[in-house]
Amino acid sequence: MPGRSKTTPSVEEQILTSSRRRCALCFGLTRDTSLKRGQIAHIDRDPANNDPDNLVFLCLDHHAEYDSTSRQTKGLTPAELRVYRTSLYASIQSEWSKPAAFTPAVADPLAAVSGHYVLERPGSSAEFQISHLGNGVMQVSGLAVWSGASSAHTGTVDFVGDLRNDRLLFADRVGDNWYNLELKVRDGTIHAVESSNSSYHGMNVSFAGDYRRV
């Protein structure tokens, strides 16, 4: 048999694009249209014949099976392979001639909740940053500041929670006491309600109040 010669890049491109890397034998024998790891095979089994009409894309298993010879079983024939290749190319041409159908982007309803919210009032301020992490889970970071005549105090919260019925809940236990924070998020606003002893964040520091998104 003549020695193997290398196919040119343009011929390889022709075979790969025509087949879309679908194996002609997988398609012809089982209608398997999935992408395959494979190689360009010679239909007449002559590695020196690189005419495009003699080439076909086969998966690795079918390429090895096709090139092997056995006297015990009837092997795959060149004529058979050509029929499968023709059928594959016709099916690909038919499918690829249809207009592409793109899945429309689905708006994330919780993306509207994400954002920066602020509360301003005489002598103090507070803010929340809310981010949607996916699957209804929200990341909440908050900072509250109280300023007096000679001192200032700050408090922070940072938690991850599920948004349920437009509410985000945070609870923390300090000794025998619980600190609870409820955020009611709706239409670009937050109504924050908290219950705690006054020492949780520091003197006069509070997150309670009505916030607007900025």
Q: Give me the pLDDT at residue 1, please.
A: 45
Q: Are residues 117 and 180 in the same domain?
A: yes
Q: Are residues 79 and 113 in the same domain?
A: no
Q: Is residue 184 part of a domain?
A: yes
Residue 154 has pLDDT above 90, yes or no: no
pLDDT digits (tens, 9 = 90+) for 65-107: 999 865 545 788 999 999 999 999 999 999 888 887 776 665 6
Q: Are residues 118 and 195 in the same domain?
A: yes
Q: Which residues of 123-139 are buried (b: 16+ CB within 10 A; e: fewer)?
A: ebebbbebbbeeeeebe
How many angstroms separate the CA atoms of 127 and 125, rounded?
Answer: 7
Q: Is residue 91 part of a domain?
A: yes
- Of 184, 179, 205, the closest CA to residue 194 belongs to 179
| CA distance readout (Å), 82 to 88, 120, 152, 156 | 10, 77, 84, 72
pLDDT digits (tens, 9 = 90+) for 163-208: 989 999 999 987 788 899 999 999 899 999 998 755 688 778 889 9
Greater model confidence, 151 or 16 = 16
Query: Is the Cβ–Cβ distance between 130 and 185 less than 8 Å?
Result: yes
Range of the domain at 144: 109-213
As for how many domains the chain has, the answer is 2
Query: Is the Cβ–Cβ distance between 145 and 124 less than 8 Å?
Result: yes
Q: What is the CA radius of gyration of the chain?
A: 34
